[in-house]
Amino acid sequence: MPKKAVIKPVSTRRTTRETGRFTRATPGSQSLERGLQLLRVFRPGVAVLSNAQLAYRTGLPRPTVSRLTRSLVDAGFLAYDVEQAGYRLTAVCLSLALTFRSEQPALDLALPLMRSVAEGQRINVGLALADQGEMVYLDSVRQSRLGVFRRIVPGSRIPMELTSLGYACLAAMDDTERRALLEQLAVKHGRAWPALMLQIQRAITDVHKLGYCHATWQVGMVAIAAPVTTPDGKVHAVNISFPFEEGDHTAQVKTYSALLLELVDNIHTTWHHELMTAAE
């Protein structure tokens, strides 16, 4: 009787190298994922959160949150504030952020180009990455003539489904990644989703056709954005935002879109020259 051929499983590390997408056959830790979910809900202005507030913001059961916060305190990522009866982040989180920032040569190369446009035109220029259903600013140069409408600093988070940065990033993603994110956002918005989805689809079409999209998420400001990708395929989004008065802002969008596309082209060229040269 002939022996059955033994089929060796494909190495997941090899699959990761060949596809450029992280792949592992071993299951992840659900407890760790839930603990990190708690850390994600801390934001500027929301520095101290109780177990009840953490449960509400994450949708996790109170007993689960209680166990997780205990572990996060023991590990040094959270500290309990007795006076406010809640938890706050510790300095280790700042160390993690500093480590991340120090390993971002792409940002160091983009910032001078961003600053030149912002200061020369007295407008705001930002660079962001996607994190689940939100966009996280890597940096922002705020030079709007009418002042700062909203304080944007590195680490600021904005909704992907409402902003030009988010639309630009979605437009540049592969179909699988985009579909997964849109499914998450659909659950988040419920009945309001169909109208939002139409808005997103129009913006994605604009990016594919014009190279950029625009949104008026913030009152009194128009933001236009375009995607730009590092040599290793990591999708970023660059935006320009400027104030406008009531009425048609088509002419402003047209003027600033030319600046945006030139900036994106300069960033792309610089990244692909400098980063690829450094990798050789």
Model confidence pLDDT, tens digit, residues 95-144: 999 999 988 899 999 999 999 999 888 889 999 999 989 999 999 998 76
**CATH for 104-279, options being 3.30.200.20, 3.30.70.260, 3.30.450.40, 3.90.1200.10:** 3.30.450.40
Mean pLDDT throughout 175-190? 93
Q: Indicate the burial class of 138 (C-beta count within 10 angstroms; 0-12, 13-18, 19 or more).
A: buried
Q: What is the CATH number of domain 28-94?
A: 1.10.10.10
Confidence of residue 225 (pLDDT cuts 50, 70, 90): very high
Q: What span, in angstroms and rounded, lies between the C-alpha atoms of 180 and 157?
A: 20
Given this model, what pLDDT does residue 263 score? 97
Model confidence pLDDT, tens digit, residues 248-269: 778 888 889 999 999 999 999 9
Indicate the domain borders of the chain.
28-94, 104-279
Angle between helix 250-279 and helix 105-121 axes, rounded to 10 deg = 150
